[in-house]
């Protein structure tokens, strides 16, 4: 849970809380130079990019560690949009994050018989333990659940409808899905693949090459949290 030392920027347990206070300065178009205090999550947010997409665009080696001076590939900035009349937006999820979010995830994981560090790793990779995170595809909250998934999985696994904008519901359903995939595949890495690419695709094809970084990155986080007693 440490702050950043001079040599490296760990994706530690306090990193998400720090991101709101950290500025980011882009380098040349398509690249960003890591500054002290940066995290992958803060870089992804400053470039309006899903965290797992940012990781997929780069060869970080250990996705849990980036260093000041590293060059991170990011999308070129889009052209300014034409003026439009804004359509009404759905309510954004409440901005719960950090230790409070972690406690909710741990409690939900335990209710579903999951290793809490497994659920924490998924949530950290997906959202940085940030309930206000919404992906470009509309995935919501701590566990980055798509609304269409919530619509069927809530009744299927929890016996009720869920509000993905509610952190407890979000963590509860994400944990229930992970528990289901663990029971189906009896393999935590296949369960992660199913969470990312879908159950049917995982049954037919196993882990897609494009999913490998996601699966291995989360598993590395899970092991790190386990060692740290997160």
Residues 66 and 103 in one domain: no
Residues 132 and 179 in one domain: yes
Exposed / middle / buried, residue 14 (Cβ in 10 Å: 0-12, 13-18, 19+):
middle
Within a domain: residue 91?
Answer: no
State the chain's mean pLDDT as an integer.
Answer: 79
Tokens of 3: 């702050």
pLDDT digit string (tens) for 189-223?
999 999 999 999 999 999 999 999 999 999 999 99
CATH code for position 22: 3.10.350.10
23 neighbors 42 (Cβ within 8 angstroms) = no
Residues 136 and 182 in one domain: yes
Residues 124 and 198 in one domain: yes
Closest CA to 220 of 66, 62, 54: 62
**Pairwise CA distance, residues 45 & 136, whole Å:** 11
Within a domain: residue 191?
Answer: yes
φ and ψ at residue 32, rounded to 5 degrees: -130, 135
Tokens of 82: 């034409």
Angle, nearest 10°, between helix axes 167-185 and 188-197? 120
Residues 68 and 123 in one domain: no
Structural domain that includes position 110: 98-228
Residues 151 and 214 in one domain: yes
Residues 45 and 105 in one domain: no
Closest CA to 21 of 4, 40, 38: 38
Within a domain: residue 90?
Answer: no
pLDDT digit string (tens) for 124-176?
999 999 999 999 889 999 999 999 999 999 999 999 999 999 999 999 999 99
13 neighbors 94 (Cβ within 8 angstroms) = no
């Amino acid at each position: 849970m440490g702050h950043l030392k001079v040599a490296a920027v760990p994706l530690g347990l306090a990193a998400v809380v720090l991101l709101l206070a950290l500025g980011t300065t882009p380098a040349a178009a398509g690249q960003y130079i890591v500054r002290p205090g940066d995290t992958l999550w803060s870089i992804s947010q400053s470039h309006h990019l899903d965290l797992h997409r940012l990781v997929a665009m780069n060869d970080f080696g250990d996705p849990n560690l980036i260093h000041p001076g590293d060059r991170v590939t990011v999308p070129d900035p889009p052209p300014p949009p034409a003026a439009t009349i804004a359509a009404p937006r759905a309510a954004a999820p409440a901005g719960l994050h950090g230790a409070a979010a972690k406690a909710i995830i741990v409690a939900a994981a335990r209710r579903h018989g999951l290793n809490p560090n497994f659920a924490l790793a998924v949530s950290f990779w997906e959202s940085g333990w940030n309930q206000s995170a919404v992906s470009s595809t509309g995935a919501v909250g701590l566990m980055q659940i798509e609304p269409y998934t919530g619509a069927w999985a809530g009744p299927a696994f929890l016996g009720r409808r869920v509000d993905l904008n509610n952190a407890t519901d979000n963590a509860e359903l994400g944990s229930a899905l992970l528990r289901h995939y663990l029971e189906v595949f009896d393999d935590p890495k296949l369960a992660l693949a199913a969470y990312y690419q879908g159950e049917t695709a995982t049954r037919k094809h196993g882990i897609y090459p494009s999913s490998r970084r996601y699966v291995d990155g989360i598993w590395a986080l899970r092991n790190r949290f386990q060692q740290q007693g997160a």
